[in-house]
Amino acid sequence: MRGYLLKFNLLAVVLLLATWPAACAQDGSAAVAAGDSEVTWDQVRAIFQKRCFACHRGEQARGALDLSSVAAIRAGGSSGAAVISGKPEESLIYLLPAHLETPRMPPSGNKMPQRELDVIHGWISGGLSEKIAAVSPAAASTVVAVRTPVKRPAAAATVGKLSALTAEMVLPRNAGAKTTKPVMVRPVRQQLRPVTSLAASPTSPLIAIPDGQRVLVYDWTDLSVRQIIQFSGDVFALRFSRDGRILIAGGGIGGQSGRVTGWEVTTGEQLFSVGSEPDIVLAADISPDGRLIALGGPSRVVRIFDSVSGQLTGEQKKHTDWILDLQFSRDGLLLASGDRFGTVLVSEAATASEFAVLRGHNGPISGLHWSAESDQLITAGQDGTVRYWNLHSSRQVSQFSAGAPVLTFDKDPAGTLSLGLKSAQVAVTSADGGPLRNWALPDEVSQLVLTQDGSHTVVADATGNIQLFRNSDAQVVGEFVPPATDNR
């Protein structure tokens, strides 16, 4: 009897798969009659088509999540299962658009209408129906109303449960372990937002990572969180002072305000907060003596403040586009700033008056680093070039091609460069561009920073994963996963 049933079921499945569209068309009315509360796939698909397909369809789908078929949805995305049949409160395809988990979907704009969320919720509760209701194709793309209201979970309870910090989320992964994709539930990842900045303390094993409106300070040797610091706005820039004592964060609220705040690293105590920008701060640095704070962003003006008095000491207005990075020279006398147009300006640190204009890049500047002697500046850009400039002559002395747009880079004291590429690679090169090592990542490398001892690299990709690589063999030895917050 059991054997018979099994065979029957298998047969039914095979038949259904083979004749799926036809069967559905014929059985459409029956499906509707079977239960008024059943949400059918065509209703859900219509919503996904309208709101999600732009980014979640086919091979290039963001987060590796294709929402265009039930099978693809069941297959999940880059962080594993996207849906758990019968459990909308544990399914990312409901939690993210319902804004119960981050990253919010769609990433920008308002939350989608509640009745559409109810459809998704009902469809998951009902077991991911593959049926198509008997409606005309034209109507299928617009009909989204739920027939009977579906029950929604209490938002607070859901968030609380999912936010629980588990050991797997913070402990280093076994380096040798196979990375098989989890089939069912896994801890819901909190960090999927793009990583805007990374900073490594020059004197201790501390790594600062932005997490929305807060900064997480980790010890990379055991991946423990040492400080959680709140910031007034979203964090876009992080930097440690040269003595490792102070951490600064720049950021703000888009189109409204921007500032730079500094804290004592060991205590988390706020030391200063400078700037009242009309827009976010995208780049910030603190001078080697801790006295000056430089900032820049979409307002195109580099402003320099005294960290003690909070007074503005200089403005550099020659940038014609968003300022993306800036850095004080090692001796603290000069400040280099790079913009989205590709121009690099060097200013006198104390006054912000112009010292040199370095033209050559044709594309956004993704990073700049001074040499130890303060007479040489290294810049990299999305034009795929790395350039060396001499500050005595204010001329470019050499350049090489990285083979792909450079999105971020760091350099060790010996001059070895680690380039984070848009082609989803980290290229480690000698100072003159000679290839030393190259390792591949699943996505564009958006941020990277070397640890203070140069032994490891913290790498963030465009999907929001932040991993710890051991430089000697390019093995992933850990992952930075933020602890939960209550306020998002």
Interacting residues with ligand HEC (CB under 6 A): 51-52, 54-56, 62-63, 65, 76-79, 82, 92-93, 96-97, 103, 105-107, 112, 192-194, 463-464
- CB 47 → ligand HEC: shortest distance, Å? 7
- CB 133 → ligand HEC: shortest distance, Å? 20
Closest CB to ligand HEC among residues 79, 125 = 79
Closest CB to ligand HEC among residues 153, 290 = 153
Q: Check: CB of residue 163 under 8 Å from CB of residue 486.
A: yes
CA dihedral of residues 56, 59, 62, 68 (deg, nearest 10) = 20
Q: Check: CB of residue 50 under 8 Å from CB of residue 56.
A: no
- CB 142 → ligand HEC: shortest distance, Å? 16
- CB 104 → ligand HEC: shortest distance, Å? 9
Residue nearest to ligand HEC (CB): 77
122: three-class secondary structure by DSSP: helix
- CB 469 → ligand HEC: shortest distance, Å? 20
Closest CB to ligand HEC among residues 188, 260 = 188
Closest CB to ligand HEC among residues 51, 239 = 51
Residue showing tokens 């029956």: 30
Q: Check: CB of residue 396 under 8 Å from CB of residue 385.
A: no
- CB 139 → ligand HEC: shortest distance, Å? 21
Strand order, beta sheet including 395-401: 365-370, 376-381, 385-390, 395-401
- CB 113 → ligand HEC: shortest distance, Å? 11
* CA distances (Å), origin 453, targets 143, 266, 320, 403, 466: 59, 19, 37, 28, 19
Closest CB to ligand HEC among residues 77, 478 = 77
Closest CB to ligand HEC among residues 209, 336 = 209
* CA distances (Å), origin 97, targets 22, 101, 126, 127, 142: 32, 8, 19, 19, 19
Structure tokens at 282: 């995208």
- CB 18 → ligand HEC: shortest distance, Å? 30
Query: Which positions ≥6 away from 215 have C-beta within 8 Å?
Result: 208, 209, 227, 228, 229, 231, 235, 238, 247, 249
- CB 260 → ligand HEC: shortest distance, Å? 25
- Separation of alpha carbons 369 and 380, rounded Å: 9
User: End-to-end alpha-carbon separation of the chain, Å?
Assistant: 52
Closest CB to ligand HEC among residues 28, 194 = 194
- CB 167 → ligand HEC: shortest distance, Å? 21
CA dihedral of residues 177, 182, 183, 188 (deg, nearest 10) = 160
Encoded amino acid at 226, one letter: R
Q: Check: CB of residue 183 under 8 Å from CB of residue 454.
A: no
Closest CB to ligand HEC among residues 51, 361 = 51
Closest CB to ligand HEC among residues 286, 481 = 481
Closest CB to ligand HEC among residues 198, 352 = 198
Question: What is the pairing mode between strands 395-401 and 406-411?
Answer: unpaired
